[in-house]
């Protein structure tokens, strides 16, 4: 993990909790000191320098995340240095479309927009009854929604949800129980929560059923 700003430190912490060993790199000594007690290994180094990366043994890693957001120049130069070192997968954070295009052109294999993606997701939640929402490319989304009132008490077999509403119910959580895969005999009881997938507009329309 290169860059221990808010995004980088949260991502490094999440990876650590998932059981992965993380090497974190930042040029700021205060950040290095702050996170050295939390993460497996934190070092101070200038990640834009290819030689510094080689000294850290970065070429032994299969995945490196460039989480630098404050400096576009440092972000791009770091990705370029990682490419020169030969890292198989470089993930990079972008702050704009132009930044993303430059990162891809210098060798980033995956580019993410954490702020934009979070903003879009939260916007969907604010203006709908959805409890959670994840949008993928090619007009596809998965959402967690409370069972629409008109469907309460009915079996999925009888509702023909896919034919009528253009979405598929893949999971259901009856009130007070755990999520389970949905099947044609699943009854949509009051207070149930559903996992549905389909086109973005169709998912939104299904969640808005009254």
* Domain carrying residue 152: 122-207
User: Per residue in 168-195, is it b (16+ CB within 10 Å) or e — as a string?
Assistant: ebebbbbeeeeeeebeeebebeeebbbb
pLDDT computed for residue 146 by the predictor:
96
Looking at the fold, whether 106 and 128 belong to one and the same domain comes out as no
Looking at the fold, whether 126 and 110 belong to one and the same domain comes out as no
pLDDT band at residue 16 using 50, 70 and 90 as cut-offs: confident
Cα 33 to Cα 191: distance, rounded to the nearest angstrom = 48
Phi and psi, residue 94, nearest 5°: -115, 150
Q: Is the pLDDT of residue 117 over 90?
A: no
In angstroms, the Cα distances linking 96 to 10, 120, 166 are 21, 15, 34
Looking at the fold, whether 14 and 85 belong to one and the same domain comes out as yes
pLDDT computed for residue 70 by the predictor:
84
Count of domains for the chain = 2
pLDDT computed for residue 187 by the predictor:
95
Phi and psi, residue 71, nearest 5°: -130, 110
Looking at the fold, whether 31 and 106 belong to one and the same domain comes out as yes
Looking at the fold, whether 130 and 54 belong to one and the same domain comes out as no
Q: Give the H/E segment covering residue 145.
A: strand 140-146
Question: Span 111-133, mean pLDDT?
Answer: 85
Of the candidate ranges 60-74, 110-124, 134-148, 183-197, the one whose mean pLDDT is the lowest: 110-124
pLDDT in tens, 126-184: 878 899 998 887 789 999 999 999 999 999 999 999 999 999 999 999 999 999 999 99
pLDDT computed for residue 20 by the predictor:
87
The CATH number for 193's domain is 3.30.70.1450
pLDDT computed for residue 88 by the predictor:
95
Q: Is the pLDDT of residue 68 over 80?
A: yes
Question: Span 11-20, mean pLDDT?
Answer: 88
Angle separating helix axes 72-85 and 97-105, nearest 10 degrees: 20
- Mean pLDDT of all residues in the chain? 92
């Amino acid at each position: 993990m290169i860059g221990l700003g808010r995004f980088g430190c949260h991502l490094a912490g999440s990876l650590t909790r998932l059981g992965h060993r993380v090497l974190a790199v930042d040029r700021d000594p205060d950040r290095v000191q702050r996170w050295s007690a939390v993460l497996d290994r934190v070092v101070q180094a200038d990640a834009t320098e290819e030689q510094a990366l080689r000294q850290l043994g970065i070429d032994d890693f299969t995945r490196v995340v460039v989480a630098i957001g404050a400096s576009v120049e440092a972000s791009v130069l770091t990705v370029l240095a990682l490419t020169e070192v030969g890292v198989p997968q470089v993930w990079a954070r972008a702050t704009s479309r132009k930044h993303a295009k430059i990162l891809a052109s210098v060798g980033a294999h995956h580019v993410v927009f954490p702020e934009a993606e979070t903003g879009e997701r939260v916007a969907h939640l604010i203006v709908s009854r959805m409890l959670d929402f994840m949008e993928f490319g090619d007009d596809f989304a998965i959402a967690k929604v409370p069972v629409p009132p008109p469907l309460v008490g009915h079996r999925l077999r009888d509702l023909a949800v896919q034919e009528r509403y253009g979405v598929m119910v893949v999971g259901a959580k009856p009130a007070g129980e755990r999520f389970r895969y949905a099947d044609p005999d699943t009854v949509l009881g009051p207070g149930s929560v559903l996992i549905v997938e389909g086109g973005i507009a169709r998912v939104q329309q299904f969640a808005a059923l009254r």
